[in-house]
Amino acid sequence: MNMIIGAHQVHSIEDAFLYLAECQLATVQTMAGKKSIPKAEYRRQVSIAQHFVDWVSDFKLSYNDRGFPRLEIVLDRYKHAVHDWKKASVEARRIAKRMRKR
C-alpha cells in the first residue's frame, strides 16, 4: 500500500474527493477514541463518512493502493459499513490498551 496521500498530492477532482473521504474517516476514528464526545455530533460525523463511502462506491472511484488506507478497509473489509468499521476500530484500540497494561 502507498503512503497516505497528503493535500499537496491532490491533482484532480477524484483525488480531492478521495482525500476528503479519508479525512472524514480519520475524524470518525479520532472521535471514536475519545472518552467523552457529544453523541449527536459523533453520529453526524459517521453519517457524513458513510455518505462519502457510498459515493466512492456509486461513482466507482479508484481508491485501491492510492494512499487511502481507511477508505480501503471500510470498502473492502467492512462491505462499505462505516459503523461496523468504527466499532471494530474501537475494540482493537481497547484490546491494544489492555495488552500494554500487562
CA distances from 28 to 37, 65, 88, 101 (A): 11, 21, 12, 25
**Per-residue pLDDT tens digits of the chain, which is 102 residues long:** 456 678 888 999 999 999 999 999 999 999 988 889 899 999 999 999 999 999 999 999 999 989 999 999 999 999 999 999 988 888 877 777 777 877
63 inside domain: yes
33 inside domain: yes
66 inside domain: yes
**Structural domain containing residue 41:** 12-101
69 inside domain: yes
CA distances from 46 to 3, 13, 28, 51, 59 (A): 24, 23, 6, 9, 20
- Give the count of domains, the chain: 1
Question: What is the model's pTM?
Answer: 0.85
6 inside domain: no
Whole-angstrom distance, CA of residue 52 vs CA of residue 93: 24
| C-alpha cell of residue 12 | 484532480
Write down the number of H helices and E strands in the chain. 4, 0
18 inside domain: yes
2 inside domain: no
Half-sphere exposure of 65 (CA within 13 A, CB side): 0
Whats the size of the chain, residue-wise?
A: 102
4: which residues sit within 8 A by CB, 6+ positions away?
22, 67, 68, 69
83 inside domain: yes
